[in-house]
Amino acid sequence: MCCCKIRLSLKRSKLHEPVGRKYSSLPGLIGNDIKSLHSIINPPMAKIRNIGIMAHIDAGKTTTTERILYYSGYTRSLGDVDDGDTVTDFMAQERERGITIQSAAVTFDWKGYRVNLIDTPGHVDFTLEVERCLRVLDGAVAVFDASAGVEAQTLTVWRQADKHKIPRICFLNKMDKTGASFNYAVESIREKLKAKPLLLQLPIGEGKTFKGVVDVVSKEKLLWEVNSDDGKDFERKPLLDVSDPELLKETIEARSALIEQVADLDDEFADLVLGEFSENFDLLPAEKLQTAIHRVTLAQTAVPVLCGSALKNKGVQPLLDAITMYLPSPEEHKYEFLPWYKGDLCALAFKVLHDRQRGPLVFMRIYSGTLKPQLTIHNINGNCTERISRLLLPFADQHVEIPSLTAGNIALTVGLKHTATGDTIVLSKSSALAAARRAGREGEKKHRQNSETERLLLAGVEIPEPVFFCTIEPPSVAKQPDLDHALKCLQREDPSLKVRLDPDSGQTILCGMGELHIEIIHDRIKREYGLETYLGPLQVAYRETILNSVRTTDTLDRTLGDKRHLVSVELEVRPTEAPSVVPVIEYAPGVSEDLLKVSQEAVENGIHSACLQGPLLGSPVQDVAITLHSLMIYPGTSTTMVSACLSRCVQKALKKADRQVLEPLMNLEVTVTRDHLSPVLADLAQRRGNIQEIQTRQDNRVVIGFVPLAEIMGYSTVLRTLTSGSATFALELSSYQAMSPQDQSTLLIQRRGST
């Protein structure tokens, strides 16, 4: 019997060691080997993989990342989420809660490949964190709980990956868990994600009997040693008719099905199969099949599926092999803007962190050119020039200083004071203008009308609107500047956090994506900035709209000093048919074009500011269209007066119209045992919940429906009590919907009573 043992041995040397963990340095950084140092820092682009790990909360993303780091030689001990000693969950809040909040970037090598891996959050409050990292990735690993299959947040991150056209592979984790089912999980990928799974592995046993996997492509079985503490040692044996007749038969059937599936999706492979190997699929070399799977994965017509158990250290090394084999390198990802730069620097700042010693740390994906310390760069978004003082290779909260980094890599820069999330970085202003000219020539060919700046900006991130808000106060007035500084730093790190001042009370208002989001921000201000702040009660971010059209006029006539300011305006507000967060502004034919050229910005500023506070609750007004019918401006009138008149006129019209409060409606998914289903449904009925369907997932029931956000505050505690801690739930903003007259009047009485 042919049997070969795989042992992973990598050079290690001692790096800075925090208490309780042992880290290895970059392989090859020993001695003065300049050639080896260059290959470590700037490997060939074909050998780079920029990947993300994404999934529903608790599917095992961080544990999988820990195993990947251990087997690649970057850590010398296995971290555990429950013990709070993982590398990528390095924030105190993450280690306490056992969840990922920030996305952590880690760089490591595997079998000659450089892998930049990002561990992303699965909690719905931190969806933006996933979104901004997906933009800079070339591929992703979607991790699934094999006992649950596709869950609520899995759908969200999968849709995000679809939007950014990211090839991905699936890893069915927790195969050792009671209730784990390979077939169920594969079927849920096919049904719920509408994806075509390519089964590259089959499990050997499920639940407690899980002991290894079968490699369908090479017809080999991989068995992990029972006595092995860390899972580094495993055996790879060919499947033989003598020892494993049933398993071999199942594998041959799975391999034939895989070949047929790939041949249907890839014409080049179909020609090969029908030509040389039509008689016997068994003779088809594994390398040919792997190359075809790589092409199919890149085309996103199917997704390779692997399985294992990260916690029990099984199946992670084959996953690493699949990452390097099937996911694309940066040069296989085509970007239309690359030819415009002709090799000059072009990078995207996708994340900002604040370090107490080093100041702002900016994560960058380099698309072309080279980054070096002391390099002066130009920020297109901010239209400013800055200098990079140091360049680091990210290793979660450990960073290795490096002399340069080339295209395709993810870098960490120190010294950029004004760069924020989503900014496009180029070498110089002249480089940006040259790229804009090339883009302009290409644009003319395609008949596109874009401004030069817009064309050069790399895809920004869509920042969702906050759904919760509360007041935040410092311990004393003297500490207000410190709080403002802390909030400014946190906003630069996290664009989904909004901060505004209440014009009536002068209080600072914190707006966030959920209860957990605001709780984490509050905790970080205390730990990182040493401020004991006080939060007011959490409130729901309502919106307002109107139900009918109203036409009104207003005149503003003021004399300041010896100058007369006179503005007269007539406008109409009406509800829009399509939803629109910002007001739709239209101009009647009678409005002078010459006048608009001078005053259009002031007009629109006035309208937008009026819609920030509605007449009912002071909430933003949406789904309204405003038509300007006439505008008269006395010569010498300031633009501020024009804005003030427009704002006052819009407010007057909104007060005359029939008004409606809109409340955030959440998609809710509750996973509960059959015994506790009735009390959960009864509780949701009291919360104005609307149940859409109840699905069966193994022995559990999954309740899917809608519920108003105001009714779901503190739901986790109630659900835990109702189900003795056995149920889980996931929330996601669906839309804003009109409140019933009865609920609206109750809300208005509550608000007026509390003010």
pLDDT of residue 104: 54
pLDDT of residue 127: 54
Q: Does the pLDDT of residue 364 top 50, yes or no?
A: yes
Summarised one tens digit per residue, pLDDT across range 639-692 is 899 999 999 999 999 999 999 999 988 888 888 888 889 999 999 999 888 999
Summarised one tens digit per residue, pLDDT across range 567-583 is 999 999 999 988 888 89
pLDDT of residue 96: 44
Summarised one tens digit per residue, pLDDT across range 729-746 is 777 788 888 998 898 998
Q: Does the pLDDT of residue 637 top 80, yes or no?
A: yes
pLDDT of residue 69: 79
> How much is the average pLDDT of 35-55?
71
Cβ proximity of 747 and 688 under 8 Å = no
Q: How far is CA 440 from the centre of its chain?
A: 31
Summarised one tens digit per residue, pLDDT across range 146-190 is 888 888 777 777 877 887 788 999 999 989 888 889 999 999 999
pLDDT band at 395 (very low <50, low <70, confident <90, very high): low
- Residue 6's nearest CA partner among 293, 212, 289, 250 is 212
Pairing relationship of beta strands 104-110 and 168-173 according to DSSP bridges: unpaired
pLDDT of residue 552: 94
Number of H helices, E strands in the chain: 20, 36
Summarised one tens digit per residue, pLDDT across range 702-725 is 899 999 988 887 787 888 888 887
pLDDT band at 463 (very low <50, low <70, confident <90, very high): low
CA angle 620, 623, 629 (to 5 degrees): 100
The pair of structure tokens assigned to 540 is 């729901």
| Count of other CB atoms within 10 angstroms of residue 736 | 23
Q: Which residues of 658-690 are buried (b: 16+ CB within 10 A; e: fewer)?
A: ebbbbbbbbbbbbbbeeebbeebbebbeeebbe
* Among the ranges given (29-38, 60-69, 460-469, 578-587), the one the predictor scored with the smallest mean pLDDT: 29-38
pLDDT band at 511 (very low <50, low <70, confident <90, very high): confident
pLDDT of residue 673: 86
C-alpha dihedral over 84, 89, 91, 92, to 10 degrees? -20
CA-to-CA distance for 620 and 614, rounded, in angstroms? 6
More confident residue, 752 or 206: 206
Element (H, E) at 110: strand 104-110
**Counting beta carbons within 10 angstroms of the beta carbon of residue 7, is it exposed (0 to 12), middle (13 to 18) or buried (19 or more)?**
exposed
- Beta bridge partner(s), residue 117: 51, 106
pLDDT of residue 625: 93
pLDDT of residue 733: 80
pLDDT band at 355 (very low <50, low <70, confident <90, very high): confident
The contacts of residue 602 (CB under 8 Å, 6+ apart) are 639, 640, 642, 643, 646
Dihedral (CA of 157, 162, 163, 164) sign: positive
3-state secondary structure of 71: helix
Q: What are the φ/ψ torsions at residue 624 (nearest 5 degrees)?
A: -125, 145
The pair of structure tokens assigned to 550 is 């109203």
- Beta bridge partner(s), residue 391: 413
Summarised one tens digit per residue, pLDDT across range 396-444 is 456 778 888 888 888 888 888 888 777 888 888 888 888 878 777 665 5
Which residue type does 134 have?
L
- Average pLDDT, rounded, for the chain: 79
The contacts of residue 402 (CB under 8 Å, 6+ apart) are 41, 391, 392, 393
pLDDT of residue 461: 53
pLDDT of residue 64: 82
pLDDT of residue 12: 30
Summarised one tens digit per residue, pLDDT across range 105-134 is 677 888 888 888 875 654 444 555 566 667
Q: Report if pTM > 0.75.
A: no
Cβ proximity of 187 and 196 under 8 Å = no
